[in-house]
Amino acid sequence: MMILGEWLRRIWYLVNRRRFEAALHEEMEAHRARLGQPARFGNTLRLREESRDVWGWTWLDALVRDFRFAARGLRRTPVYTVVVIGSLALGLALTTVMVSVVNAYLIRSLPYPAADRLYHVRYAPPGPWEPRGMTGLDWTSVEDVIEFPIASLGESFYLADGRYTVALRGLRVTRGFADGLGVSVAVGRRLLGEDFLPGSERVALIGHSLWRDRFGSDPGAIGRAIRVEAESRPGSPESFRIVGVIAPGFYYGRDSRTAVEILVPNTDPVRTYMVRLRAEVPPAIAARRLTEAARRAATSPIPSDWTGVQLESVRDRWVGGLRPILFGVTLAVSLVLVIVCANVTVLMLLRSMRRQREVAVRLALGSDWWHIARMLLTETLLICTTALGVGVAIATVALRTLAPLIEKQLGRQAPDPSGIEIGTTVLVVVGGVSLLLAVALSVLPLTSWGRTRTNALQQDVRIASEGRSMRRLRSALVAFEIAGSLVLLVGCGLMIRSVMTMLHTDFGFDAEGLTTSRIMLRARNYPNPAAYRLLYERFIRQVSDGLGSRIVFSSWPPFVPPPTHLIERDEGTAVGAGFIAVSAGYFSTFRISLGQGREFTAEEASAEATVAVVSETLAARLWPAGDAIGRRVRDVEQTPGGSTAGPWRTVVGIARDVRQTYDDADRSDFYIAKTPDGRFGTFYARTSRPASPLFDQLQRAAGDIDRDAVINPPRPVADDDQTRVETRFLTRMLTTFAASASVLAMLGVYGVTAYAVQQRHKEIAIRIALGASDRAVMRLFLREGVQLLGFGTVLGLIGATAFSRVLSAHIVGVQNSQASTWVTASALLLSAGFATVFWAARRADVGNPASALNAG
Amino acid sequence: MPREDGLPPGTLVMLILHVLTGGPRHGYAIAQRIHTLSREELSVEEGSLYPALQKLLLKGWVKASPAISETGRAIREYRLTPSGRRQLERECANYRRMGAAIDAVLDTA
């Protein structure tokens, strides 16, 4: 209480300081005036200061004074101030953007409560086999380790109240799902326990986008009924009462990036593929307990080599693919920031040299080292704070346009409704970084003053200051900058090369200009497979006529390895190969050339004729003699129940090898002729028509044949090439970084050379007066500059070796043995550096040596 | 108070508090009072009163209110607060105890 009162009085004093001090002054003067001998009163100024000290705000005064002094000093050297603050702001802006991205994707958790306790459940390694009876797993027996079993069934709900039928991405979810993922709502209420009881009213939550698009964000939508037909229950439309709108940003799916449009309670038994562990439970223990529970629940014999239930962190799976790319970017940004710092340090060192006389005067007047250190620290702090403000402002503006682009480039939305933003965490991190910078940047100039003695005043400081060690330090810093820039340039070169390699990678087909979409039909309209096929054939004819180019169906998309079947030739030899069913015209539409033979006809696809096309690799493996055409072959599909053999087919064509990934090792593929005969069909067209009119045309064509048919919006096939998209993104980032780093390094080289020229002005004048030619003087500086560049390059090549190793370990197609990239990057940097040195050294032209000597 | 010439350290605060028990006074009056009461023995550098008064204000032992001096100038009058009174008692007791102890040592030696 005492302390609190004291502090309140202190603050009261601070607020009313002027008044207090005036009153004290007046009081003391009145007192002094009444004394016969005013000297008995003592030194008024000193006494007033002592009185002020009692209130304890002197440090604040000192601070304000220091800041004012620093600001005045900086104002006197506007170019220096702008360059230093500008480059630091640039570096901090990059850091802010990078930290926000990393924070959004890697640090901040998924949009679920306790996301670090969410785990995917795998009952068996990926493949066809999984123990049966897992829907009956007794979750109450593992209640002590598992907080919520989270289960859902994906379901398409057809909504047919508009012009076309649309499919809504829906989920039937268990109570554990609603609680464990904390499905929150923007409007209305959440799902409650009673919603999951059998016989309760059927309720639904709708997605935010559905609410916006269908209901115009009307809060009155709550309570209304929505009538849909579920994919799994054809012919029996269901009606749900809308009780809430899912908060925007709720995602759920294989990798948590699918927005849910309708979410309804599920009461049927369902297999659980996700759990939330109780706090403090190690996943290994939970996995062991789940394995025991799974053994008890299994209704089919479990093989002896069963590895048991495995848990995989949801977060790891979510960010796993992004980690290398974000790591690369972080590395690059850190390097840029370090280069910025080196540059600023060089500039500060140069400035501190010039201020040596001032420091000497201060020391002579009795200032102590602590005071001088404080002065310097205040100045750097002022610079860093301003730079931080400017940097965060730049980052805020930049992120407004960049955030959607970054999300698109990374191929997934940031896992939070607020997305990539500059929040408290980011500000704390970046603020900490700039504080560290301020301290680090003060150290070197301070040591440069370490040997300043008051006798420096008697000498010509401008010459005396140029100590050998200081010059070395400065040169080392600039060499370091050159090295860092070279590292970034080499990295950037390697990335560009890898993108070039990717662009030139022959996938065996031409993805550019290919568009894909999907058609979904409703089972009740089609009594048998033949009816489906009839529709697809009519659809193909109708759309192909309208587009002027053929649309083709395929059972498997490009860029994804197809399922492997065993391929047997009649002699009894079998090899594994990718199995794809395609419709007529597939090879010509995909531009996969046929080395021999022909592609499937429409009749063959329609009749599922017993013909096959094999890839060159498969043909060579099965018939090394090269006589594949006309041979007999069949596929054998292996399932947990045993293997199913297809009919014997005749090879009618040999197609060029197709890659599914950049490092696809096995290019054996087996194609059969088949127009789809099921509820879904994915089709491709080679067209230049823009997406929106194309979508309209496809919907019209499908709607003419079947009003219930649903078409997905078409999108370019090339977008599926995620590797290329990511690499291109990283390349762009690295190019930006390398360019800014190089500019900064050149600034450093220029600064150091120009300063050296200025320092040796008199020496040059003497040399010229003694008969040295301009060229000889120039050579003097060029030699030093070249030494600097050479040293930096060697250092940079060593750093680049490490950096390229990191890159090549993480990014497809990057090889660190591309000598030409190294040579090009070094040559680029060296020539830019040489030009800069030359430019700076031209200042060595002193004109008339006599006047130069006199001027000093 | 670093410059309480002639005063044992820390006693100026106690003296001021004591003087104020007689009622509110301004700075000059406090100095005069100490001077008189000490039979002109204690000659304090009078200005050092003011830093001490600031400490008393900060601690909440005295309160200041504006007043006009006999010569017609704006000054402040200081008044003892209850906590100041308690502080005075504590300091006096301390001082007496110390004094007695020092006396005892001096007597026996």
| Per-residue pLDDT, A670 | 94
Which residues is A462 bridged to in the sheet? none
| Per-residue pLDDT, A412 | 61
Would B2 be classed as within a structural domain? Answer: no
Whether the per-residue pLDDT at A25 is higher than 60: the answer is: yes
Q: Whole domain around residue B95: which residue ranges?
A: 12-107
Whether the per-residue pLDDT at A327 is higher than 80: the answer is: no
Please give the single-letter amino acid code of residue A682: T
d(CA A773, CA A761): 15
Residue of B nearest to A53 (CA): B51
| Per-residue pLDDT, A675 | 92
pLDDT digits (tens, 9 = 90+) for B6-29: 667 778 888 899 999 988 998 888
Would B78 be classed as within a structural domain? Answer: yes
Identify which of A55-64, A586-595, B71-80 has the greatest average pLDDT.
A586-595
**Average pLDDT, integer, range A772-798:** 84
Q: Residue A79 has what DSSP assignment?
A: H
Assign A414 a pLDDT band (cuts: 50, 70, 90): low
- pLDDT exceeding 70 applies to what percent of chain A? 87
A32-36, A79-83, A813-817, B12-16: the lowest-pLDDT one: A813-817
**Which B residues 75-94 touch A at CB under 8 Å?**
75-76
Q: Do A23 and B57 touch (CB under 8 A)?
A: no
Would B5 be classed as within a structural domain? Answer: no
Nearest Cα of chain A lies from the Cα of B101 at a distance, in angstroms, of 31
Q: Do B28 and A41 touch (CB under 8 A)?
A: no
**Average pLDDT, integer, range A87-111:** 80
Would B47 be classed as within a structural domain? Answer: yes
Determine the residue among A9, A16, A50 to mutate to test chain B binding: the one whose Cβ has the most chain B Cβ atoms within 10 Å. A50
Q: Which of A13, A31, A52 sits opposite B28 (nearest CB)?
A: A31
Q: Do A55 and B28 touch (CB under 8 A)?
A: no
| Per-residue pLDDT, A177 | 87
| Per-residue pLDDT, A415 | 57
**Average pLDDT, integer, range A165-187:** 85
Q: Residue A690 has what DSSP assignment?
A: -
pLDDT digits (tens, 9 = 90+) for A283-298: 999 999 999 998 888 8
| Per-residue pLDDT, A445 | 76
The CATH number covering residue B34 comes to: 1.10.10.10
Helix, strand, coil abundance in chain B, percent, nearest 5: 55, 15, 30
A31 contacts in B (CB within 8 Å)? 27-28, 31, 46-47, 75
Helix count and strand count (H, E) for chain A? 25, 24
B54 contacts in A (CB within 8 Å)? 24, 51-52, 54-55
pLDDT digits (tens, 9 = 90+) for A474-514: 788 778 888 888 888 887 777 777 767 766 777 888 888 89
d(CA B69, CA B41): 26
A5 three-class SS: helix
Whether the per-residue pLDDT at A255 is higher than 60: the answer is: no
Q: Which residue has the higher pLDDT, B85 or A133?
A: B85
pLDDT digits (tens, 9 = 90+) for A193-237: 888 888 888 999 998 888 888 888 888 889 998 888 887 777 778
Q: Do B3 and A42 touch (CB under 8 A)?
A: yes
Whether the per-residue pLDDT at A42 is higher than 50: the answer is: yes
User: Which pairs count as long-range contacts for A128-131, CB under 8 Å and 24+ apart, including other chains?
Assistant: A128/A638, A128/A639, A128/A640, A129/A303, A129/A640, A131/A294, A131/A297, A131/A298, A131/A300, A131/A302, A131/A306
Q: Residue A649 has what DSSP assignment?
A: E
Whether the per-residue pLDDT at B3 is higher than 50: the answer is: no
Question: Does the CA dihedral A615-A619-A621-A626 come out positive or negative?
Answer: negative
- pLDDT exceeding 90 applies to what percent of chain B? 23
| Per-residue pLDDT, A587 | 93
Q: Do B74 and A26 touch (CB under 8 A)?
A: yes
- pLDDT exceeding 90 applies to what percent of chain A? 14
A50 contacts in B (CB within 8 Å)? 2, 48, 50-51
| Per-residue pLDDT, B33 | 87
**Average pLDDT, integer, range A746-762:** 75
pLDDT digits (tens, 9 = 90+) for A622-660: 888 888 899 899 998 876 666 788 899 999 999 999 888
Would B22 be classed as within a structural domain? Answer: yes
User: Which H or E run contains A380?
Assistant: helix A369-410
Q: How many folded domains does chain B comprise?
A: 1
Would B3 be classed as within a structural domain? Answer: no
ipTM value greater than 0.85: yes
A632 three-class SS: strand
The residue count of chain A comes to: 856
**Average pLDDT, integer, range A387-412:** 81
**Average pLDDT, integer, range A55-80:** 85
Q: Which of A30, A35, A54 sits opposite B58 (nearest CB)?
A: A54
Nearest Cα of chain A lies from the Cα of B100 at a distance, in angstroms, of 30
B46 contacts in A (CB within 8 Å)? 31, 35, 40-42
Q: Helices B27-37 and A17-34 meet at what angle, rounded to 10?
A: 50
Would B81 be classed as within a structural domain? Answer: yes
Identify which of A421-425, A643-647, A819-823 has the greatest average pLDDT.
A643-647
Would B1 be classed as within a structural domain? Answer: no
Determine the residue among A31, A48, A49 to mutate to test chain B binding: the one whose Cβ has the most chain B Cβ atoms within 10 Å. A31
Tell me how many residue pairs between chain A and chain B have CB atoms under 8 A apart.
Answer: 80
Q: Helices A369-410 and A356-364 meet at what angle, rounded to 10?
A: 140
